[in-house]
Amino acid sequence: MSTRTRVVLSIAASTMMLAALSISVLGQAGAVGRPGGLAGVDGEAKSTAPAGPVPRRSDGHPDLTGTFNGSPGGVTHTVILEEHPGGFGVLGGQSLILDPADGIIPYQPWALTERNRRREDANGYEDQVGHCEFYDIGRIHSFTQEYMFSGNNFIIHATQHITRIVPMDRRDHLPPGIRLWLGDPIGHWEGDTLVVDSTNFNDKPRMSLGGDFHGADAHIVERFQMLDANTIKWTMTIDNPKMFTRPWTMTSPALMKRLKPVPDFDVEDTCHEGNVDLVHLKNTYEKAHGPGWPPKPVR
C-alpha cells in the first residue's frame, strides 16, 4: 500500500467517524480522564535510553538535537487547550494554561465569542487542518518534532509540512508588512534555555481544533528547557492586547520526551493530494450556512 493510499484511508476513516456521531463536551466538570499538562507524562512517548545529564554543544549550550514528542499518548489538547472531559476519541485533560492560574485563556469578550463560534460543529469545515494547511506553532507540540542546529539556525521539523528555521544571530524582526503563518522567529539563549521570540503573524492560524486563535498582532515567546538528556520542557507566552486581557502562558500536553529515531525514513506530506473526503465536511458546513466560502474574516 502506498503512502498516498494510507493517507486517503486515514482521512476516509475520520470522515466516517464524523458521519457516525458527534459528541458534546460540557464546559462544567465532567468525567475528567487522564490528566494532561505537565502532570501527564505516562503515555506512549517513552524515552529510549536512561536519562543522562543534559548534552552540550561545543559552545557549552544544551544540545537539543533529536526527535521529541509532547503527547501523553493520545489525542488531547489539539482539540481543547483548557480543562476538558474525555469523549469519543479524545482523552480528557487538565488545562494546558499555566498562567493565569485558573487555566482559562483570558480572551476579551469579542474574541471569546468568536472562539466559541469556531467551535460549533457546523463551522468545523473552517479549520485549516482539515484542508491540509498549517498547524500553528503551539499545536505541533502535541506531535513529534525533530530538532537540529545548522549554521546559526535552530531548526524545528514538525507535522504537516512545517519546518521552522530559527536564526540565532538576528536582532530585528522583519518589517511589519511581511506576515507569515508561523511568524518570524528569532532565537537566543537565556542561560540554558533556548528562547524563541516570534512576531509578524498573519491572522489565519488556529491554536486548536476547538477554535482558539492568537491573532496577527501576537507577540509569542517560547522557551525550550532541557531537563535531562531525554526531556524538554516547552512553554509559550502569548501577548496580544487586541485579543486578550493579559499575556498568558501554555505548555505541551506532556513534557517533550525523546523518541527512538527511524533510519532512512522520509514521509512525503501528501495530505492535500489525497484529501478526497473533505467534501463531507463541506456538506455539513453548507447544510448550516448555505453555499459560500470563504467565511467573512473576523478581526
Q: How far is the CB of 175 from other proteins (least distance, A)?
A: 10
Where in 35-94 is the site for other proteins (CB under 8 A)? 57-58, 63, 65-67, 69, 71, 75, 78-80, 87-90
| Those residues with Cβ within 8 angstroms of residue 169's Cβ, 6 or more apart along the chain or in another chain | 152
Which three cell numbers, joined as nine digits, stand for 190? 537565556
Q: How far is the CB of 159 from other proteins (least distance, A)?
A: 4
Q: Does 298 bind other proteins (CB under 8 A)?
A: no
Q: Which is nearer to other proteins, 65 or 245 (CB)?
A: 65
Stretch that binds other proteins, among 15-23, 103-111, 225-233, 234-242 (CB under 8 A): 15-23
Q: How far is the CB of 248 from other proteins (least distance, A)?
A: 19
| Those residues with Cβ within 8 angstroms of residue 142's Cβ, 6 or more apart along the chain or in another chain | 70, 71, 75, 76, 77, 78, 252, 253
In total, the chain counts a number of residues equal to 299
Q: Which is nearer to other proteins, 179 or 233 (CB)?
A: 179
Q: How far is the CB of 195 from other proteins (least distance, A)?
A: 19
Q: Which is nearer to other proteins, 24 or 290 (CB)?
A: 24
Stretch that binds other proteins, among 23-31, 34-42, 187-195, 217-225 (CB under 8 A): 23-31
Interface with other proteins: number of residues (CB under 8 A):
103
Q: How far is the CB of 241 from other proteins (least distance, A)?
A: 24
Phi, psi for residue 91 in degrees, rounded to 5: -75, 140
- Residue 142's region, left for phi above 0, alpha for psi from -120 to 50, else beta, is alpha
Where in 212-251 is the site for other proteins (CB under 8 A)? none
Q: Does 189 bind other proteins (CB under 8 A)?
A: no
Q: Which is nearer to other proteins, 190 or 264 (CB)?
A: 264
Q: Does 266 bind other proteins (CB under 8 A)?
A: yes
Q: Which is nearer to other proteins, 184 or 222 (CB)?
A: 184
Which three cell numbers, joined as nine digits, stand for 52? 543522562
Q: How many CB atoms lie within 10 A of CB 79?
A: 19
Measured distance CA(165)–CA(167) in Å, rounded:
6
Q: Which is nearer to other proteins, 1 or 31 (CB)?
A: 1
Task: Name which position in 32, 39, 104, 148 contacts other proteins (CB under 8 A).
Answer: 148
Q: How far is the CB of 99 from other proteins (least distance, A)?
A: 22
- Residue 12's region, left for phi above 0, alpha for psi from -120 to 50, else beta, is alpha
SS3 283: helix
The DSSP H or E segment spanning 199 is strand 193-199
Q: How far is the CB of 264 from other proteins (least distance, A)?
A: 5
Q: Which is nearer to other proteins, 15 or 247 (CB)?
A: 15
Q: How many CB atoms lie within 10 A of CB 14?
A: 14
| Those residues with Cβ within 8 angstroms of residue 152's Cβ, 6 or more apart along the chain or in another chain | 167, 168, 169
| Those residues with Cβ within 8 angstroms of residue 219's Cβ, 6 or more apart along the chain or in another chain | 197, 198, 199, 238, 239, 240
